[in-house]
């Protein structure tokens, strides 16, 4: 499918067989030819369309092209099931319920009488989230009273409500392919109920419980997800899945000294993804 020269490699290492990717997540990998995501198929050059047609597998096809390529019978990475749940907390939670995966008590509310129904099911305080499209913790709210609930409902026509667990940390477990490749604690900043690094949370690599790793791996396999950061907490002696992030950051990899690009190159070359 072509060759590429990467300055990180010597002349003897720079000629490699390349796979095809659309999204830019693997753009620095020497064994990946990244085409980008075009809004129209005909915006690709003729040779790029042929490369897509002939590729045995397409990497990071994007939400839009994942549907089309799956219909063609293409092998995809991440999986089609992974893309179906990207930034969709409602689908994720329904799947957790169907599969009996332990997670905080959660309900979704629709219609004009949402507030009334919410207050019949939850006592203050509770967590409210923007159910679709939010990331980095920015769509997560701690609701203490009816005024805060009203403000949240003005932002989201659908209410995604979850019991509040008094946590100061959680565990991010990254599953790629069929294995856990990294896991670490995320510690919330003082006075913050969210542990996201983007919101001031810090990373700790100390003593990540094996039970959390195994729950994340079980969850990923059961849900059909093969490139995901799964957030897990411990509460009253139980491990609970908080949510899944298919667009996870790489700061945890950097802190652990893991070369993400090299990791992905090796997983591709080994046939693990």
Write out pLDDT tens, residues 94-130: 999 999 999 999 999 999 899 999 999 999 999 999 9
Instruction: From the options 3.20.20.100, 1.10.390.10, 3.30.470.20, 3.30.70.260, give the CATH code of 169-261.
Output: 3.30.470.20
Check residue 6 and give its pLDDT.
Answer: 47
Mean pLDDT rounded to a whole number for the chain: 91
- Among 154, 192, 180, 185, residue whose Cα is nearest residue 169: 185
- Quick one: 44 exposed, middle or buried, by C-beta within 10 A (0-12, 13-18, 19+)? middle
Check residue 195 and give its pLDDT.
Answer: 65
Q: What's the CATH fold of domain 105-163?
A: Dna Ligase; domain 1 (3.30.1490)
Q: Pick the more confident residue, 193 or 108.
A: 108
Q: How much of the chain is in helix, strand and coil states, percent to nearest 5?
A: 35, 25, 40
For the segment 237-241, the average pLDDT, to the nearest whole number, is 97
Check residue 10 and give its pLDDT.
Answer: 46
Check residue 197 and give its pLDDT.
Answer: 67
What is the location of CATH 3.30.1490.20 in the chain? Answer: 105-163
Q: If you ran DSSP here, which 8-state letter would residue 263 be given?
A: H
Q: Pick the more confident residue, 191 or 256.
A: 256
Work out the number of other CB atoms within 10 angstroms of the CB of residue 55: 18
Q: If you ran DSSP here, which 8-state letter would residue 24 be given?
A: G
Task: Report pLDDT digits (tens) over 152-168.
Answer: 999 999 999 999 999 98
Check residue 221 and give its pLDDT.
Answer: 98
Q: If pLDDT is split at 50, 70 and 90, which confidence band does 262 have?
A: very high
What is the location of CATH 3.30.470.20 in the chain? Answer: 169-261
Task: Report pLDDT digits (tens) over 15-62.
Answer: 568 999 999 999 999 999 999 999 999 999 999 999 999 999 999 999
pLDDT at 193 over 90: no
Whole-number Å distance between alpha carbons of 76 and 56:
9
Check residue 3 and give its pLDDT.
Answer: 40
Work out the percent of the chain whose per-residue pLDDT is above 70: 89
For the segment 176-194, the average pLDDT, to the nearest whole number, is 85
- Quick one: 152 exposed, middle or buried, by C-beta within 10 A (0-12, 13-18, 19+)? buried
- Among 74, 67, 71, 64, residue whose Cα is nearest residue 20: 74
Q: If pLDDT is split at 50, 70 and 90, which confidence band does 194 have?
A: low
pLDDT at 207 over 50: yes
Q: If pLDDT is split at 50, 70 and 90, which confidence band does 91 have?
A: very high
For the segment 240-265, the average pLDDT, to the nearest whole number, is 96
Q: Are 70 and 80 in contact (CB under 8 A)?
A: yes
């Amino acid at each position: 499918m072509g060759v590429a020269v990467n300055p990180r490699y010597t002349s003897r290492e720079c000629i490699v067989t390349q796979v095809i990717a659309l999204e830019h997540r693997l753009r620095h990998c020497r064994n990946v030819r990244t085409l980008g995501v075009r809004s129209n198929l005909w915006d690709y050059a003729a040779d790029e369309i042929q490369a897509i047609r002939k590729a045995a597998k397409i990497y990071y096809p994007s939400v839009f092209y994942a549907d089309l390529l799956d219909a063609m019978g293409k092998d995809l990475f991440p999986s089609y099931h992974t893309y179906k749940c990207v930034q969709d907390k409602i689908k994720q939670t329904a799947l957790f319920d169907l599969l009996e995966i332990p997670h905080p008590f959660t309900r979704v509310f629709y219609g004009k009488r949402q507030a009334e129904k919410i207050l019949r099911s939850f006592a203050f305080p509770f967590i409210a989230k923007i159910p679709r499209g939010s990331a980095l913790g920015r769509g997560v709210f701690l609701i203490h009273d009816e005024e805060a609930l009203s403000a949240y409902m003005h932002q989201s026509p659908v209410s995604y409500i979850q019991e509040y667990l008094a946590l100061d940390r959680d565990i991010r477990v990254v599953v790629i392919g069929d294995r856990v490749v990294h896991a670490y604690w995320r510690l919330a900043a003082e006075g913050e109920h969210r542990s996201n690094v983007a919101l001031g949370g810090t990373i700790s690599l100390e003593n990540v419980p094996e039970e959390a790793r195994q729950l994340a791996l079980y969850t990923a396999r059961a849900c059909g997800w093969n490139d995901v950061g799964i957030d897990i907490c411990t509460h009253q002696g139980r491990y609970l899945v908080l949510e899944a992030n298919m667009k996870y950051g790489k700061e945890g990899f950097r802190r652990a000294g893991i070369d993400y690009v090299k990791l992905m190159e090796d997983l591709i070359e080994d046939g693990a993804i």
